Every structure is written in C-alpha cells, then in structure tokens.
Amino acid sequence: MVLTCDIKAKSPLIRMILMTGAEKDHIGDGLKAGNMDFVLFKPFRMKELKDVLGDAFSERRGM
C-alpha cells in the first residue's frame, strides 16, 4: 500500500482501483487510509469492471 500512498500524495485526483483475490478483511488498511477509490474482488464480472471504470472516469471528468 506504500505505492498507492505515494501516488495519491503526488496526484490526489487519480482514481485508484484495486482488483484483488484477497478477502475483504485483508485489505482494510488501504481502504481506511483512503488510498483506494474502488475495489473489485475476484472473481468479478466484466460488467462490474465496466461499471467501476465508468464511475472512475465520470468522477474524473467532474473534477
């Protein structure tokens, strides 16, 4: 999660999407720190990925 902290510190407008095979309990620290804007848990459907990407891009355009 150090990398995501560095990225957010340098470019706070970047939307961070985490795709993980880990269980929800194991990624809590990154989410609590506010580094991740979206999280997809494997296995996920392509519609979920499209929705998250659409949300990330629409948020970015609104800034």
Terminal CA-CA length for the chain: 25
Q: Which of 44, 6, 42, 50 is nearest to 24 (CA)?
A: 42
CB 58 within 8 A of CB 38: no
pLDDT digits (tens, 9 = 90+) for 37-63: 888 999 999 999 999 999 998 876 665
Name the pTM for this structure. 0.70
pLDDT of residue 24: 74
pLDDT confidence tier of residue 8, bands split at 50, 70 and 90: confident
